[in-house]
A and B are shown apart, each in its own frame.
Chain A
Amino acid sequence: MSALAALIRRDIRIALRVGGGALIGVLFFLTVTVLMPFAVGPDLALLSRLGPAILWLGALLASLLTLDRLFTADHEDGSLDLIVMSRTPLELACAAKALAHWIAAGLPLIVATPVLGLLLNLDGTATLAVAATLLAGTPALTFTGMIGAALAVTLHRGGLLLAVLVLPLSIPVLIFGVAASQAAISGPLPFGTPFSILCALSLASLVIGPFAAAASLRHGLD
């Protein structure tokens, strides 16, 4: 257990220090969100209607951007081989790494959401709803994205291949995340229905992600 805690602490420290990628994700999130009004026009009513979708897309792309480094950095300096060979089960180590990545890269996105909500003319309840859905949904993005990251590192290919593999898997999360936010703001549907499906998706990916990533690491690294 302490090995996992050490792994989490190390990953967070690496992500947050100079040269770590976590804060670039937030910056990217901010940039994408600021770009949107230029694309669709500064109509405040339209922006508040599109707001949840814009924030969700921004968060999805930002988490995808930072996922590229999840295993690559460790692979380059050789610590990934140590993690694979250690006595701690690889599935747990993968889960720990994903958790650390989510704390370092996912939580800042959620903290930034209220500020960006102001820019998109979202009111208090809407911002809260988007933040809540992001809080429930981003673990799913991280844990499914981890599968893609593990595949990419074993193939020595990153970047676009990762995006092509991961984006189809993240479509359901996007659908129910935006549906839940819309339901809280305007929709006829109660907030709870899509939100609980979103939570279910997160929990399912919490189980599937580490196993698939560990399998791909174990079979891919020779």
Chain B
Amino acid sequence: MLAAATAILLAIGLYQSAMAPDDYQQGATVKIMFIHVPNAWLSMFVWSVMSVAALGTLVWRHPLADVAAKAAAPIGAAFTFLALVTGSLWGRPMWGTYWEWDARLTSVLILFLMYLGLMALWRAVEDPSRAARAAAVLTLVGAINIPIIKFSVDWWNTLHQPASVLRMGGSTLDKAFLWPLLVMAIAFSLLFITLHLAAMRNEILRRRVRSLQMMQASRVSFTSEAGAGPKEIGAA
């Protein structure tokens, strides 16, 4: 259901961005915007989702919050990677360079590194609830980066252009570009929600496997004197 809505919106968005006129300055490269901006937006949104989940982990100690936070990290890392790479491919024709150490690019790169660090933290610890609490602290500390990314284009005078969609006094973007961009943004958000829910379901199953294996192991250790034990451990 959700997946179907995502697919339909993505198709509409792709069609609209294919039909969008060329920018008088940027030419056809403006089409990269329709995938770059949603990815960049999601890279921050996913971290915000994880921060809310982190609060759920630390304050209410709800296991579903742990699951949500863990499932979101790889997806967020993928979107951040795409934002960086599409930005780089857009920057080459427009700025003449693939990479520039300006504030917006650097802070998004830091965000990407933090996603990777968070995934390393999740993988480093055997016990999921212990890993969840550690990851929650790191997520909340890393959340400081989000407003820095958002406002880096306003605080520092950089190569990266300032926000033009959401701002006081209306968008500076022409309607011909705004509509495809909005549709694509919604489509990518739906894509994230779909993927996130699926990944959460996987994570729940993974935990169920883990707890059943624990039960199996304890049962095996009880009956191991009867001689049935070691074979079953091998099968698990």
A residues near B (Cβ < 8 Å) are 144, 147, 150-151, 154-155, 157, 161, 164-165, 167-169, 171-172, 175, 208, 212, 215-216, 219-220, 222
Contacts and interface: CB of A to CB of B under 8 A. Distances in A.
B121 interface: yes
A151 B142 CA distance: 14
Indicate the member of B106, B114, B142 with the most A CB atoms within 10 Å.
B114
A1 to B, nearest CB: 27
A165 B124 CA distance: 12
A167 B169 CA distance: 39
B131 to A, nearest CB: 7
Contacts of B106: 171, 175
Interface in B122-178: 124-125, 130-131, 133-134, 136-138, 140-142, 144
B124 A155 contact: yes
B137 A215 contact: yes
A147 B120 contact: no
A154 B126 CA distance: 12
B40 to A, nearest CB: 18
Q: Is the interface of B mostly helix, strand, loop or mixed?
A: helix
Nearest to A221: B130
**Top 9 A-B pairs, shortest CB-CB distance:** A219-B133, A168-B113, A216-B137, A164-B117, A151-B134, A165-B117, A168-B114, A155-B125, A212-B141
> By CB atoms of chain B within 10 A, which of A150, A169, A172 has the most?
A169
B121 A147 contact: no
Contacts of A164: 116-117, 120
B212 interface: no
Nearest to A171: B110
Nearest to A163: B117
Given A215-B137, A219-B133, 5 more contacts: A151-B134, A151-B138, A157-B124, A216-B133, A219-B58
A164 B142 CA distance: 13
Contacts of A155: 121, 124-125, 130-131, 134
Nearest to B116: A164
Contacts of B113: 167-168
Nearest to A213: B137
B204 to A, nearest CB: 22
Contacts of B124: 155, 157, 161
A208 B137 contact: no
A161 B130 contact: no
Interface string B84-121: 00000000000000000000001000100110110011
A147 B137 contact: yes
Contacts of A220: 130, 133-134
A208 B141 contact: yes
B138 A165 contact: yes
A222 B61 CA distance: 14
Nearest to A160: B120
Given A147-B137, A151-B121, A220-B130, A168 B58 contact: no
Contacts of B144: 208
Nearest to A165: B117
Contacts of A171: 106, 110
